[in-house]
Amino acid sequence: MDGHFVPPDVIEVEGLVKVYGRKGGTRALNGVSFSVPKGDIFGFLGPNGAGKTTTIRILSTVLAPTGGTVRIAGHDVHEDPMAVKERIGVMPDEVSFYPTLTGLAHLQYYASFHGIPRAAAKRRAIDLLGQVGIGDVARKKVKTYSHGMKKRLALAQSLLHDPELLIMDEPASGLDPQGMRYFRDLIRFLNGKGKTVFLSSHLLSEVEQLCEHVGIIDRGRIVAADSIANLSSKMSAGAPIILRVTAEGITDEAIASVTSISGVTGATRTANGLDVTVQSGTDVGPDVSKALVLAGARLKELKTSERSLEDLFFALTKGGRV
């Protein structure tokens, strides 16, 4: 023991395999492994058809895995699905409800599965509908709801039984900017109250803003699972670095002078100046600024560009088929 508190993993996935149909059917997941520590907001990324939804359906106990193990809060989804179901709140991508039931009736129906007594269930449902901002339409039929209202109802139903893990599939898809911001703030708030969040999303900026750790899945395999910072530095190792130069008065001579520096492999003009491609492991920043200043350019800023999550995503999924 090194004295550090290591939170237990809420999700432990090991060697997960899912084959649809009989032998020789579609292999949707091919040995997926990752883990999500307690209290984390974990971003789950991947192009369409990579296996995201299949993974989420297995985590939600809807689909049985073909091989491998999945444990949630220490309970195997296959061996002890009931214990898992009690601990998870699922917000599916498709926000689909019974069109002729009211929002309140939905929550009361779902609460009855969790053994919440009727009166308490009604109180809790009304509270939750108010909290997610659709208290005023609680007694209206769901078929009259807008997409945003349905998303909010989907969130409310996932919180009914106060689960420790929230599994959210594209929670912000189809929402307007205010709605997206609302969801982002709410996820942070819930995480602040100790809930672990498993967040699958197409919106990379969303994930970047919310998540510390991400898993990237492609063609049924996890191609990366780590913190965004670690992934970024790992990806950068050995790869060329871009120096982003902001300057005025860059002449062709200045560019020629820069490209002649040892370690520089190329330079292209940008709107504000110049992007200089540099071999990894070389520190040519001072040489570049010196060359530019000597060639008469008025240098304003020079910085090493960081790779965004989007860059990582595209690099890892070979162009990403989002």
Partner 1 sequence: MKAPAFLRGLVPVGWHEFYVNLRSVRMLIMIIVLALIMVGGAYGIGRGSSAGGPSIAPLVAWVHPAIGTSGEHIAVAWVSDPFGVPLPGATVSFTDLSVQPPAPLGTTSADADGFARLAVGNRSSIGITVRTGNAESGSGVFFDRPVENFTVETRQEALDTDSVPNDLGVHVLGRAGVPVAARLWLNDTYVKDVDSRGYGRLELPLGPSNVTIEVAGENQTRAVFTSKPLPSPFFTIGPDFVLLIMAAGFATFVIPIFAVVVTFDAISKERVQGTLDLLLSRPASRVGTLLGKFLGTFAAVALPVTLVNLAGIAVLTAVSGKGPTGSFALAFLGLSLLLIAFYIPLQLIFSTLAKTSGTAILFGFLVWLAFNILYPVITFVLSSVLFPNSFQAQFQFSQVVGLGNPSSIYTQLVTFAAPEAIRFSFGGGSTLSLTAVASAALVWFVGMLALAMWTFQRKAAE
Q: Which helix (H) or strand (E) holds 69?
A: strand 67-72
Task: Closer to partner 1 by CB, 116 or 297: give it.
Answer: 116
- Asked whether the beta carbons of 305 and 34 are under 8 A apart, the reply is no
* Residue 7 identity (one-letter amino acid): P
Q: Cβ of residue 107: shortest distance to partner 1, in angstroms?
A: 12
Task: Closer to partner 1 by CB, 169 or 206: give it.
Answer: 169
Q: Cβ of residue 266: shortest distance to partner 1, in angstroms?
A: 50
Q: Cβ of residue 223: shortest distance to partner 1, in angstroms?
A: 26
Rounded Cα–Cα distance for residues 92 and 146 (Å): 16
- Asked whether the beta carbons of 67 and 211 are under 8 A apart, the reply is no
Q: Which of residues 62-81 bind partner 1 (CB under 8 A)?
A: 62-64
x/- string (CB under 8 A) for partner 1, residues 95-114? Answer: xxxxxxx-------xx-xxx
From the list 85, 151, 195, 213, which residue makes contact with partner 1 (rule: CB under 8 A)? 85
Q: Cβ of residue 90: shortest distance to partner 1, in angstroms?
A: 5
From the list 3, 24, 115, 194, which residue makes contact with partner 1 (rule: CB under 8 A)? 115
Is residue 88 part of the contact set for partner 1 (CB under 8 A)?
yes
* Phi, psi at 193, each rounded to 5°: -85, 10
From the list 52, 57, 71, 151, which residue makes contact with partner 1 (rule: CB under 8 A)? 57
Task: Closer to partner 1 by CB, 57 or 152: give it.
Answer: 57
Is residue 17 part of the contact set for partner 1 (CB under 8 A)?
no
Which region among 83-91, 123-131, 201-209, 255-263 touches partner 1 (by CB under 8 A)?
Answer: 83-91
Task: Closer to partner 1 by CB, 112 or 305: give it.
Answer: 112
Is residue 20 part of the contact set for partner 1 (CB under 8 A)?
yes
Q: Which of residues 150-189 bind partner 1 (CB under 8 A)?
A: 157
Rounded Cα–Cα distance for residues 188 and 175 (Å): 18
Q: Please report, in angstroms and rounded to a whole number, the separation of the first and last CA atoms in the chain.
A: 42
Contacts 24+ apart (CB under 8 A), 264-272: 264/288, 265/240, 270/244, 272/246, 272/247
Is residue 86 part of the contact set for partner 1 (CB under 8 A)?
yes
Count CB atoms within 10 A of the CB of residue 306: 13
Q: Is 254 exposed, middle or buried (0-12, 13-18, 19+ CB in 10 A)?
A: buried
- Asked whether the beta carbons of 187 and 171 are under 8 A apart, the reply is yes
* Residue 31 identity (one-letter amino acid): G
Q: List contacts with partner 1 (CB under 8 A).
A: 20-21, 57, 60-64, 82, 85-86, 88, 90, 92, 94-101, 109-110, 112-115, 157
